[in-house]
Amino acid sequence: MRTIPLIQFGFGGVGRAVVRRVMKARDEFEWRYGIQLQYVALCDSNGAAVEAQGISFGDLERAMAAKEAGRGLADTPIGYQHEGLLDIVDVAGVTGAIVIDVTASDETVPALQWALDKDYFAVLANKKPLAGSIASFRQLTDSDRLRYEATVGAGMPIIAALRQALIASNDHVRRIEGCFSGTLGFLTTGLQAGESYSALVRHAKQQGYTEPDPRDDLGGMDVARKALILARTMGWPLELSQIEVESLYPPELAAGSPADFLEAISALDEPFRARVAEAQAAGQTLRYVAALESGAAQVGLRAVPVDSPVGRLQGTDNLAAFYTDVYAPNPMVLQGRGAGVDGTAAGVLADIVSLALTDR
């Protein structure tokens, strides 16, 4: 039996879902793989819990209950107020740890790089470290000790399909077309069904599909980061600024509070209704699409054929269609759950196991 130390940045919804999956899988992973996953460090934005001998499941349960009650890790018996991630990742006596980043911050990059330089491993659901400069992307991914499946498509094996089924088989990828936002999938399929833009955005906010400020989803930058990660995985030296991004709200609504924004968006109902009608008249439907081809990437609202892979997509599902030398004219298509913490946590755990089973 090998013990794999885990160090995790982030203890929000996704972070707690990862902890639960690790705990639930303990017995099966012990007999199936001969490994025991053991948390030695965990942190949120201000607090941390560190125990080189392993944080007990009981303490993990109590820490999760505290977070769900609105308290931080620093307010739990095992927690303290931390001053930086480097202190958390450098756990005395621990070797071969897997560092898990489920934050939404680019401030984790120095700690991730330190960990990789110390021959640790890393798993990311956080897109921002891989969407910085191309130099930073290459530095983080050069060692092949980092996995990042959950950065694109939550638990769907999009990165694995690209790296292992296509790139590794020397199948030239000519085009990738995908829908990588459950929130925007909910919006566009609702528009297709005749609902208003403003009602859909407000409903998505109420249901927790959007970020606290819906503009974080509607602006398209989250999808652009995912497109950038796919492009860089293929070896394209793109920067985020080179991706064409269409926002689903005008610049004049960028200022003000989220409440101000939700109050003002009824003015957008008619323009979106007109775009839907125009697409339907041409036998098409609207989808928020990321398209990568010939070294360039664009993300935006597109009119697509109703019977195309992205046109058939419904609700919050994500989809990636790979058009390659082998998969032509019909693409290789991956489709599945694209929203919710459990799908992302599943992708993170799969990457943890992949690294745990590598030759150390």
Tokens of 144: 């092949």
Q: Using CB atoms within 10 A of its CB, is residue 219 exposed (0-12), middle (13-18) or buried (19+)?
A: middle
Helix, strand, coil percentages, rounded to 5, for the chain:
45, 20, 35
Q: Supply angle C-alpha 232, 341, 39, rounded to 5.
A: 85
Contacts of 70 (CB under 8 A, 6+ apart): none
Helix (H) or strand (E) holding 22: helix 13-24
* Identified catalytic residue from 127, 128, 205, 226: 226
Beta bridge partners of 335: 319
b/e map of 335-357 (b: 16 or more CB within 10 Å)?
bebbbbbbbbbbbbbbbbbebbe
d(CA 338, CA 316): 6
d(CA 66, CA 78): 11
Contacts of 347 (CB under 8 A, 6+ apart): 125, 149, 150, 153, 154, 155, 156, 157
d(CA 332, CA 323): 7
CA dihedral sign of residues 230, 103, 319, 313: negative
Helix (H) or strand (E) holding 9: strand 2-9
Residue whose token pair is 């959950």: 150
Mark whether 128 is an active-site residue. no
b/e map of 137-149 (b: 16 or more CB within 10 Å)?
bebbbeeebbbbb
Rg, Å, the chain Cα set: 21
Tokens of 354: 């992949």
Which of the residues are catalytic? 226
